[in-house]
Amino acid sequence: MTPEEFRVAGHQLIDWIADYRTDVEQRPVKAQVEPGEVKRALPATPPEGTEGIEALLSDLDDIVVPGTFMAQHPMHFGWFPSNAALSSVLGDMASSGLGGLGISWESCPSLTEVEEVVCDWMRQLTGLSNAWSGAINDTASTSTLTGLLVARERATGLSQNAAGMQAMAQPLVVYATEQSHSSVAKAALLAGFGWDNIRIVATDPVTYAMDPSALADAIAVDVAAIRLPAAIIATTGTTSVTAMDPVAAIVDVARVNNVWVHLDAAMAGSAMLLPEYRHLWDGVEGVDSVSWNPHKWMGTILDCSLFYMRDVELLNRVMSTNPTYLRSAVDGEVTQYRDWGIPLGRRFRAMKLWFQLRIDGVEALQERLRRDLANAQWFSELVVSAGAPWSVVAPVQLQTVCVRHEPVVDGVALSGEALDAHTQQWIKTLNESGSTFLSGAVIDGRWMARVSIGVEATERHHLERLWLLMNEAAGSV
């Protein structure tokens, strides 16, 4: 494709994207395909000749869009918001169009230095001190794994330089809670800790936040058994109920035992753009690594996970590679992001954040986040004031409201497995209608529904409609 052909096709694609985004609300929220349907619609063998952009746009309309969950639909309240601000989409396109090669500072100095500056802007915007330096990873899963790898190496005095963890006399232990994201256990397993050395620390029965005294007890048991407490994963904004682990108290426990603290703020990081919410990660200056996802509520198109460390020298020692074919005259003077994580090659991810911040502006972003937080409070009050059979089952910390509908059947309130079946059925009814979408989760052994607010297009009237739909769905099953 020549640049001139690209210009023509590119304009058509931009028009297609703008039309698609304009019409998103007219479409069903849930993807309208059965398993295997998209595959069956595609030829089994690759094309031999050439095809124009028109053929591709037509397949986008006929095959891809019906097979796409409408994450940008204002009636989407599932999982966590995964906004894709169009300003950041432009940045992503600029990054692809530039075709930069991110394997060293020399291979694309602007890629490195825009990333350094944008990470520093984000540091300032979330109130972190200038002790922190940041990089952009693909996902929080990678950031947690990176944090745990460095924690492992600190605990073992850089065992990787000799026989590694396998030579350690004491097993290394990681601490998390039942509410931690599944990526935490995955990272601990990949980093070699093993299931036997992952401790599930008790949480507060009301807030679901990690109990620091239970953490201290768990560490004491391991120390007494000659095991080595290596890392604690604290979470602000857990996935099921957005619980906030008490970071300052966890840091206090960690310090006594010289244990690494990684803070997973994948969801709540966006709220730290609002000074009035920063108390939710009080103590953050005492953790060792922290990450959060602008690709969630803040709205930078996936993938964009910020990862901050204070001891960058240690990070670089753990991650460093220095092959002859990558050496240059400026080594030692510049940031080499390949020494900040697992991959060598990196995309110009900072571009999408840079575009978003500059085009949308921080004030508008803050205003949108505040709108969503106010909507969540309003929705929660609506459910509470409606009363039985509805209830709000966890504190509303941010933009997620966890609810349950517990009807009385033949004079007896539904409970146990019958209540679970009822909850799952009304969520399914709602989701299959295509009008809206919620996801469920289990808390205290029972299913509940999560109303996760925060799609860029969601306004109060969408929540009013959701409430009507929820009542219809729950009342009819």
Positions in the binding site for ligand PLP (CB under 6 A): 80, 139-141, 181, 183, 235, 237-239, 264, 266-267, 293, 305
Helix, coil or strand: residue 174:
strand
Which residue in this structure is represented by tokens 């949308």?
360
381 contacts: CB under 8 Å, gap ≥ 6: none
Q: Which helix (H) or strand (E) holds 372?
A: helix 362-386
- Gap between the Cα atoms of 174 and 172, Å rounded: 7
Helix residue ranges per DSSP H, 72-168: 86-98, 109-125, 140-155
Shortest CB 139 distance to ligand PLP, Å: 3
Pairing of strands 446-452, 437-443: antiparallel
Q: Which C-beta is closer to ligand PLP: that of 216 or that of 455?
A: 455
9 contacts: CB under 8 Å, gap ≥ 6: 1, 52, 53
Q: Which helix (H) or strand (E) holds 392?
A: strand 390-392
Shortest CB 178 distance to ligand PLP, Å: 13
Q: Which C-beta is closer to ligand PLP: that of 111 or that of 304?
A: 304
The partner residues of 301 in beta bridges, in order of sequence, read none
Pull the structure tokens for residue 82: 């995964």
Q: Which C-beta is closer to ligand PLP: that of 88 or that of 235?
A: 235
Q: Which C-beta is closer to ligand PLP: that of 216 or that of 306?
A: 306
Shortest CB 210 distance to ligand PLP, Å: 13
- Closest by CA to 70, choosing from 20, 142, 4, is 20
Shortest CB 140 distance to ligand PLP, Å: 4
Q: Which C-beta is closer to ligand PLP: that of 126 or that of 235?
A: 235
Shortest CB 277 distance to ligand PLP, Å: 16
Shortest CB 244 distance to ligand PLP, Å: 11
Shortest CB 79 distance to ligand PLP, Å: 6
Q: Which C-beta is closer to ligand PLP: that of 80 or that of 426?
A: 80
- Gap between the Cα atoms of 360 and 340, Å rounded: 29
Pairing of strands 228-235, 446-452: unpaired
Q: Which C-beta is closer to ligand PLP: that of 336 or that of 399?
A: 399
Pairing of strands 408-409, 412-413: antiparallel
**Helix pair 86-98, 350-360: axis angle to 10 deg:** 140
Q: Which C-beta is closer to ligand PLP: that of 28 or that of 81?
A: 81
Shortest CB 445 distance to ligand PLP, Å: 21
